[in-house]
Amino acid sequence: MREMLAAPCFFGQYNRFIMRNKAKNRLQCKKFSCVNRNFFASNENKGEIKNSKYQYTLLLKPNGHPPRSGLFVCDFLDKIDLFGARVLDVGIGESAILSIHAVFAGAQEVVGIDIDCEAIKWAKKNIGENNLNGKVTVKNISIEDFKDSKKFDYVISNPPQMPAKKIVSTHDDGGRDGRRYIKKIIKFSSKSLNTGGALLLTAFDFLGVVDRYGEAETICTLLQNFGFRIESLGSYIKTARRGSYTEKSLPWIKKIYPRYRVERNSSGKIVYKMFVIEARKA
């Protein structure tokens, strides 16, 4: 992570996504790709990361890691119109990165929920640190139990989604097929978004987002079955560290998604895409 954050091409290039395969071409939506994370500088020795565009700071808990996927989602949040929006952040996490970024990108009000009380404690610290107590409300509750009397304009989430035989890490594991929370969030959003509102969701390519790699329908089809239209698709390249959780999960990923072909870079590290899907409620 340190290596990636300190890379010289830090202010990443933003390119049109080149669609190579027919299945992807059939999905009519805006498509973007990005290989770097814009505007973030790491000072892990001081236990913080900074966003230079909006000048906010995120404190990392001792031995905590920068929110790697969250940094990508922030890039996507800058591409959409959040002005005046009421936003729900499912799985706010300890950095509260998506909630904080959403406010700086124009959201009027954010509700952030998380099942993990330690994450809530640190999320509150980060919200206070950036003087956003009046804008972001945090609740220690699961998506299964959460209810709100008012609907949302955006639901944003970077949920746990690693396919895992048993859920051991509530931060990473998404059940047998990795889709447990993705499905819950789609179902919740289909009922709790205002008409014209949208769900912004991360999903690893190997789960079968656009192309189908296992038994189940693609995540895009799942969204369409719940009445969503896929409005845009961001594609970000992730590199798994050696001995990382992703690398350890590979045998199980291959079992559930046998048609997924693992790619490696020149140094032998696993590289894979993470999509950010913007799905609008029709």
Residue number with CB closer to ligand SAM (139 or 229): 139
Please report the DSSP string for 160-187 in residue order.
--B--SS---TTTB--TTS-HHHHHHHH
One character per residue 1-40, x = contact with ligand SAM (rule: CB under 6 A): ----------------------------------------
Contact between 97 and ligand SAM by CB under 6 A: the answer reads yes
Contact between 87 and ligand SAM by CB under 6 A: the answer reads no
One character per residue 41-80, x = contact with ligand SAM (rule: CB under 6 A): --------------------------x-xx--x-------
Contact between 274 and ligand SAM by CB under 6 A: the answer reads no
Residue number with CB closer to ligand SAM (101 or 280): 101
Q: Which of residues 163-202 bind ligand SAM (CB under 6 A)?
A: 170-171, 181
Contact between 143 and ligand SAM by CB under 6 A: the answer reads yes
Residue number with CB closer to ligand SAM (60 or 270): 60
One character per residue 111-130, x = contact with ligand SAM (rule: CB under 6 A): --xxxx--x-----------
Residue number with CB closer to ligand SAM (44 or 224): 44
Contact between 235 and ligand SAM by CB under 6 A: the answer reads no
Which residues does 276 contact at the CB level (< 8 Å), separation at least 6? Answer: 72, 73, 76, 200, 201, 202, 233, 234, 236
Residues lying near ligand SAM in the complex (CB under 6 A): 67, 69-70, 73, 90-93, 95, 97-98, 113-116, 119, 142-144, 158-160, 170-171, 181
